[in-house]
Each structure stands twice: as structure tokens, then as C-alpha cells.
Chain A
């Protein structure tokens, strides 16, 4: 079966440094990977999607890479701030025969990021 794994349960870094979170997957490559942010007691909030044929995607201080050889996606937050402290989730979007999503997602366990002032 398909698995999405975020190896680090927690990551602690100093303010201003770059945070790098890892998402690994097994078996065949997911066509789409998403990254979400979740604050305590709240629902996840979508950040970025990267497609299989995209090596890199950026949004402000966020960068996501997709390495199909390593079966891995990396999520970077540059110039991190204490306000970036949250749980970050990656998710695989399953596609149907027509190449479109049919609503099934598989999430990793999440990585708790703490940025210290």
C-alpha cells in the first residue's frame, strides 16, 4: 500500500535559520504532493502543491522540492520566525484513471516545528 512518512516528529531551530522538513513516500510516485500547516486546535491550512514533473515550487519564504529518484519531497522555510512554529503535514493526492483527483488524500504523521527566538 502507499505510505507517506514524515520521519521527524519534531524539529527545533533558531529564528532566522532555514527549516527543512522531509516527506518520504513508498511504491510509485504520487503525481501530486501537498503541504499543509496546522496550528494547535485548528484544522490544517493548505500551503503548496507540487506536481511530479515539477522540481521546485516557491511561495514567499516557502520552497518545496520533489525528487522522484529519492522518493522524497523537502519543504523549506527560509528566514524562519517564531510565528512559523506549527505542525506541518504532507499529503499525497490520489488520481483516478482520468488523471484528475477524486478526493482521496493520504497524509503523513506531521512534523512539529518550533522556532526559538
Chain B
């Protein structure tokens, strides 16, 4: 089954304790992204990646790191989480190409609480 998986689905942590949220896709997609979703602010892109070793900042990259060492994986790293990073996080992937719909396939989400 074509899918994007994220782990963990729920995470409660404390300020300053480094954490990683994993994301994996099995569709051989070139593009992958991380978003955060907050009430009233909608979905905001944190980082995106066009392929292995190619990443760029989205609209809200501060406080986050990413890496793309393999095509299928795109982990999101919070080196020193703060309470304002409490949010619902989504990973997404899509295929490159001009004839396609650029449809983003989203993972199930990770609800992160930083106390």
C-alpha cells in the first residue's frame, strides 16, 4: 500500500530535550516536506526536500532541522524544543514532473506537546 508513515504519532516532551520525528514514504517520491498545523494559522511548511541531500527552508524553519540521506526518509529534528513548537506535524511526499498534479501525500500526523 502506498503510504507515508510517521513516528511517533503522539509525543509529550520537556523543553530542551532533543527529539526526532521520523517520516518514510514507499512511493519513490522525489519531494518530501514537513508542515506544522496550528489553529487559526493553517498548514505551514517547515522544510522541504527536492531529492537526496537537497533541502530548503519553508515558511517557518526556525528551531527545526532536517536531513535527506535516503530518498524514502525525511526526519524532522528539534534540537532544543520549546513550548511554542507544540503543534500537529505532518510529513508529505509528492512526485516530480510537469504533467502531474503535484499531489501531496500526507502522513497521519504527529501530535507534539512540549512542556
Contact = CB atoms under 8 A, between A and B. Distances in A.
B interface SS class: strand
A93 B104 CA distance: 10
Nearest to A1: B59
A62 interface: no
A interface SS class: strand
Interface size class of A (residues with CB under 8 A): 20 to 34
A40 B10 CA distance: 15
Contact of B101 (A46, A99, A100, A110): A46
A109 B109 contact: no
Given A42-B109, A43-B92, A44-B106, A109 B42 contact: yes
B107 A43 contact: yes
A49 B104 contact: no
A106 interface: yes
A110 B42 contact: yes
A107 B108 contact: no
Interface of A: 32, 34, 36, 41-46, 49, 89, 91, 93, 99-110
17 contacts: A32-B102, A34-B104, A43-B90, A44-B43, A44-B104, A46-B101, A46-B103, A46-B105, A93-B102, A101-B31, A101-B94, A101-B102, A103-B94, A105-B104, A106-B59, A108-B42, A109-B40
